[in-house]
């Protein structure tokens, strides 16, 4: 089912060892089998602020290669920490600037530059222009790399993606307790999945699926066939979900809000409850604030970053931050493992489902219809479709 799984073994030893789980799902059937001719797939990528790399993945004076929107990008962090995102291919002869490129400040240029690994041309990060050619007296006047509008907030680097190159019409805000270090980083999970990006946030509006694939405890794992067998044998521990999904009012109509109460029940008796307030902010970013009765109470946030690598390939990263308490420490470990198992159940569905443009919502599934309407705001006239990709 997956071809790479790693779980950091030191995760449980101390607060300085945040947990990390990475699962890479390979494509099980060719894409075209899952794209039905009478059910047009949405455009490849939505407009908006899209997370492309976690902040912790790049140090000062480093460059990282990122594939996003089916394009090669280079993410650069300069000498004093400022982040830049550029198209990766060097205008000179096309080398990938993130593969062996060096972040430097040349003699001709006292600001952050990227030096190409192939012939050593440098490009300024302030305007993308060529600042130095090591074997010429002056830089090229016309060669220039494309700079993307980017922003670093809440532990991630986002770029503004827009099919018509329009400027941002909404903005991302920092989560206060993360900025002030009242809530500390507890770890991450990353899942590489094979579905259209729009399917992932649809999960929040699809309240009915909670009672089907997320009822059985996370200890039963993520294999849906195995869970079916286990639930026939031991139906003692269950999750009970109550959820409500809504679009936020203008000017925050790029956001949705879900209120969830999750109760863990043993033989039908409530043991532990978690209250969740989930804000989807644009097409690729979620803040899930939680409050749990675990060991006297824990508060914190789980952030979700969805990066569209290609039209049917996404990276989903979850990071958890909690208060700096012992209960926060233990709850965060529990949450990351439980979330990972629950998400993997969704992924089993996503990795093999077809996208249905025409759906058959039941009477109580109005939020599904509203969700499709809400998400459509992130596409525009020039949004490309798979066909012309």
Can you give the binding site for ligand FES, defined by CB under 6 A? 90, 92-95, 116, 118-119, 121
The window from 88-96, 185-193, 202-210, 288-296 that contacts Fe ion (CB under 5 A) reads: 202-210
Binding partner of residue 184 among ligand FES, Fe ion, none, CB cut-off 5 to 8 Å per kind: none
CB of 195: closest distance to Fe ion in angstroms? 13
Per the CB < 8 A criterion, the answer to whether 44 and 389 are in contact is: yes
Which residues does 110 contact at the CB level (< 8 Å), separation at least 6?
none
CB of 310: closest distance to ligand FES in angstroms? 25
Instruction: State which residue, 62 or 140, has the beta carbon closest to ligand FES.
Output: 140
Could you give the CA distance from residue 175 to residue 270 in angstroms, rounded to a whole number? 31
202 binds Fe ion (CB under 5 A): no
Instruction: State which residue, 84 or 285, has the beta carbon closest to ligand FES.
Output: 84
Which residues does 354 contact at the CB level (< 8 Å), separation at least 6?
34, 35, 36, 39
Instruction: State which residue, 139 or 310, has the beta carbon closest to ligand FES.
Output: 139
Instruction: State which residue, 94 or 297, has the beta carbon closest to ligand FES.
Output: 94
Residue number of the CB closest to Fe ion reads 346
CB of 44: closest distance to Fe ion in angstroms? 23
Per the CB < 8 A criterion, the answer to whether 83 and 61 are in contact is: no
Two structure tokens written together for 255: 């956001």
The window from 147-155, 295-303, 341-349, 370-378 that contacts Fe ion (CB under 5 A) reads: 341-349
Binding-site member from 132, 202, 323, 346 for Fe ion (CB under 5 A): 346
Q: What are phi and psi of 208, to 5 degrees?
A: -65, -25
Binding partner of residue 295 among Fe ion, ligand FES, none, CB cut-off 5 to 8 Å per kind: none
R_g (Cα) of the chain, nearest Å: 22
CB of 293: closest distance to Fe ion in angstroms? 23
Long-range own/partner contacts, residues 164-171 (CB < 8 A, 24 or more apart)? 164/380, 164/381, 164/382, 166/47, 166/380, 168/49, 169/254, 170/48, 170/49, 170/251, 170/252, 170/254, 170/282, 171/49
Could you give the CA distance from residue 180 to residue 162 in angstroms, rounded to a whole number? 32
Burial of 85 (0-12, 13-18, 19+ CB in 10 A): buried
Binding partner of residue 203 among ligand FES, Fe ion, none, CB cut-off 5 to 8 Å per kind: Fe ion
DSSP lists the bridge partners of residue 241 as: 262
CB of 118: closest distance to ligand FES in angstroms? 4
Instruction: State which residue, 90 or 260, has the beta carbon closest to ligand FES.
Output: 90
CB of 114: closest distance to ligand FES in angstroms? 10
CB of 349: closest distance to Fe ion in angstroms? 8
Binding partner of residue 229 among Fe ion, ligand FES, none, CB cut-off 5 to 8 Å per kind: none
Q: Which helix (H) or strand (E) holds 372?
A: helix 366-376
Instruction: State which residue, 205 or 320, has the beta carbon closest to Fe ion.
Output: 205
Binding partner of residue 63 among ligand FES, Fe ion, none, CB cut-off 5 to 8 Å per kind: none
Instruction: State which residue, 139 or 155, has the beta carbon closest to ligand FES.
Output: 139
Q: Return the ∠ at Cα 110 (arms to 107 and 113), rounded to 5°.
A: 90
CB of 46: closest distance to Fe ion in angstroms? 20
Burial of 315 (0-12, 13-18, 19+ CB in 10 A): buried
* Interacting residues toward Fe ion by CB under 5 A: 203, 346
């Amino acid at each position: 089912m997956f071809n790479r799984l790693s779980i950091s073994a030191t995760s449980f030893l101390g607060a300085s060892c945040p947990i990390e789980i990475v699962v890479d799902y390979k494509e099980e059937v060719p894409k075209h089998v899952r794209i039905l001719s009478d059910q047009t797939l949405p455009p490849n990528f939505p407009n908006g602020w899209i997370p492309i790399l976690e902040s912790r993945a790049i140090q000062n004076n480093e460059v990282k290669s990122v594939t996003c929107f089916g394009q090669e990008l280079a993410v650069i962090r300069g000498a004093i920490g400022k982040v830049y995102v550029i198209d990766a291919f060097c205008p000179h002869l096309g080398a990938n600037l993130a593969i062996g490129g060096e972040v430097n400040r040349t003699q001709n240029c006292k600001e952050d530059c990227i030096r190409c690994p192939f012939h050593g041309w440098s490009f300024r990060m302030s305007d993308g222009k060529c600042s130095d050619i090591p074997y010429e007296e002056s830089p090229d006047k016309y060669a220039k790399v494309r700079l993307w509008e980017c922003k670093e907030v809440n532990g991630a680097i986002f770029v503004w993606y827009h099919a018509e190159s329009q400027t941002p019409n909404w903005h991302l805000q920092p989560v206060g307790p993360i900025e002030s270090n009242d809530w500390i980083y507890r770890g991450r999970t990353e899942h590489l999945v094979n579905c259209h990006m729009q399917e992932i946030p649809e999960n929040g509006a699809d309240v009915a699926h909670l009672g089907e694939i997320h009822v059985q405890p996370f200890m039963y794992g993520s294999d849906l066939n195995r869970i079916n067998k286990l639930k026939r044998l031991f139906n003692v521990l269950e999750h009970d979900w109550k959820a409500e999904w809504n679009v936020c009012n203008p000017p925050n109509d790029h956001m949705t809000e879900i209120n969830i109460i999750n109760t863990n029940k043993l033989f039908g008796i409530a043991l532990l409850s978690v209250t969740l307030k989930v804000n989807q902010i644009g097409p690729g970013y979620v803040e899930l604030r939680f409050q749990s009765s675990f060991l006297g109470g824990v508060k914190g946030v789980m952030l979700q970053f969805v990066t569209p690598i290609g039209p049917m390939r996404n990276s989903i990263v979850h990071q958890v931050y909690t208060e700096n308490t012992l209960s926060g420490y233990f709850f965060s470990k529990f949450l990351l493992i439980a979330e990972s198992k629950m998400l993997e159940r969704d992924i089993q569905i996503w990795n093999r489902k077809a996208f249905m443009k025409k759906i058959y919502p039941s009477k109580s599934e109005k939020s599904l219809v509203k969700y499709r309407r809400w998400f459509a705001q992130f596409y525009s006239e020039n949004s490309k479709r798979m066909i012309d990709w």
